Amino acid sequence: MQRFALLGAGFIGAVHAGNLAANPDIAFELVYDAAVERATTIAKTHGASVARSIDEVFDPAAVDAVLIASSTDTHAQYLRLAADAGIAAFVEKPIDLDLPAARGTIAHVEDRGITAMVDFNRRFDRDHAELRRLIQADEVGKVELVQLTSRGPASPPLDYVKVSGGQMRDQTVHFFDLARWICGEDPVEVFVAGSALADPRITEFGDVDTSVATLRMPSGALVQIDSVRRTGYGYDERIEVMGATGLAESRRQPSGNVVRYGGGHAVADGLHAGWFERVRPTYASALAGFVDALENGAPPPVTLDDGLKAQAIAEAATLSLRSGRPQAVDYRGDAG
């Protein structure tokens, strides 16, 4: 049984709280949020206590692990505190929007030797995981061409976009991670073309809302990722992998299985209206993977280094968007 404290009681914090309470291997002890009311609501719902201070959270006598779901600018600090206290940490991405700072934090954490995991939850999607299992079982041969689609139904508020780090760092980063995870290798170069089609105002922040990325892998395999902030038809996420002997696909998920024939058409249920309907079960699965690692003294299924590498790709992608040229990915930080 792992004793958990939750940091952050916003929308995603509440989702994690439900999963912490439902997981039979977790004792959900504490919630902390600068907004005490939000923390109180969550604590009451799930029988946890409200932590009055950060110190109460990072107390290894009471807490085995923290789940960091607070605002992005606090991730690095909380990670360091956990590392210093010898408490395991499960952290929402990104570790730090500033890549060199993220590198420094990770070095610090690794030095302390705690078990830490970045919540790249999409790896835990049932269909994506089955897709990867097929690839690992060599069911489609050596990977040659991968296509990932990441399309949300609605543009985020401008205020959010402004501080998000841009589409590559905020949205596509999940898919850079999936590309690495599926291919089993790290891209060496990335080219991105993008446009602001849904809301041209975001060009003020140098951002785009519709983009296509091309990644080159060391093996010669190629990866395409399209990222869209606003579709007119719901949440669309899928992955297609062509290998030397076959093709495997984690298809776009329909919201139901009803179809109506008439007027020359077959009208079926469309896609989920929002990203959360699709992604919801992955949070619990990711958390379960982290707890398994804790219980078994095993490495976590996603490491901080995975987080760093995806971020390095996002960094090169952002550069490519600006320069209009392909950019080499700098994983070690010594190019700049």
Q: How far is the CB of 230 from its own copies (least distance, A)?
A: 8
Torsion sign over Cα 136, 127, 312, 147: positive
Radius of gyration of the chain (CA): 20
84 counts as binding its own copies under rule CB under 8 A: no
CA 271 to chain centre: 21
Q: How far is the CB of 51 from its own copies (least distance, A)?
A: 23
CB nearer its own copies, residue 257 or residue 296? 257
Residues 33-72 that bind its own copies (CB under 8 A): none
100 counts as binding its own copies under rule CB under 8 A: no
Is 260 exposed, middle or buried, given 0-12, 13-18 or 19+ CB atoms closer than 10 A? exposed
Residues 4-33 that bind its own copies (CB under 8 A): none
Torsion sign over Cα 148, 151, 152, 153: negative
Which residue of 325, 332, 334, 336 would you call a contact of its own copies, by CB under 8 A? 325
CB nearer its own copies, residue 107 or residue 259? 259
CB nearer its own copies, residue 12 or residue 134? 134
Which residue of 252, 289, 291, 318 would you call a contact of its own copies, by CB under 8 A? 252
Q: How far is the CB of 242 from its own copies (least distance, A)?
A: 7
Q: How far is the CB of 269 from its own copies (least distance, A)?
A: 7
Is 253 exposed, middle or buried, given 0-12, 13-18 or 19+ CB atoms closer than 10 A? middle
Q: How far is the CB of 127 from its own copies (least distance, A)?
A: 5
What does the block give as tokens for 167?
Answer: 């589409």
CB nearer its own copies, residue 55 or residue 204? 204
| Interacting span for its own copies (CB under 8 A) from 52-60, 125-133, 163-171, 177-185 | 125-133
220 counts as binding its own copies under rule CB under 8 A: yes
CB 101 within 8 A of CB 77: no
Reported residue count of the chain is 336
Q: How far is the CB of 330 from its own copies (least distance, A)?
A: 17
In angstroms, the CA 166 to CA 110 distance is 28
How many residues lie near its own copies (CB under 8 A)? Answer: 71
Work out the number of other CB atoms within 10 angstroms of the CB of residue 72: 16
Residue 236, SS3 per DSSP: strand
In angstroms, the CA 175 to CA 48 distance is 34
What are the Cα distances from residue 107, in Å, to 58, 88, 110, 308, 326? 20, 15, 5, 11, 29
Residues 131-170 that bind its own copies (CB under 8 A): 131, 134, 139-142, 144-145, 147, 151
CB nearer its own copies, residue 52 or residue 260? 260
Which residue of 110, 222, 274, 333 would you call a contact of its own copies, by CB under 8 A? 222
The mark string for 164-203 relative to its own copies (x by CB under 8 A, - otherwise) is: -------------------------x-x-xxxxxx-----
The mark string for 253-292 relative to its own copies (x by CB under 8 A, - otherwise) is: xxxxxxxxxxxxxxxxxxx-x-------------------
Q: Read off the DSSP letter of residue 168.
A: I
Q: Read off the DSSP letter of residue 157.
A: P
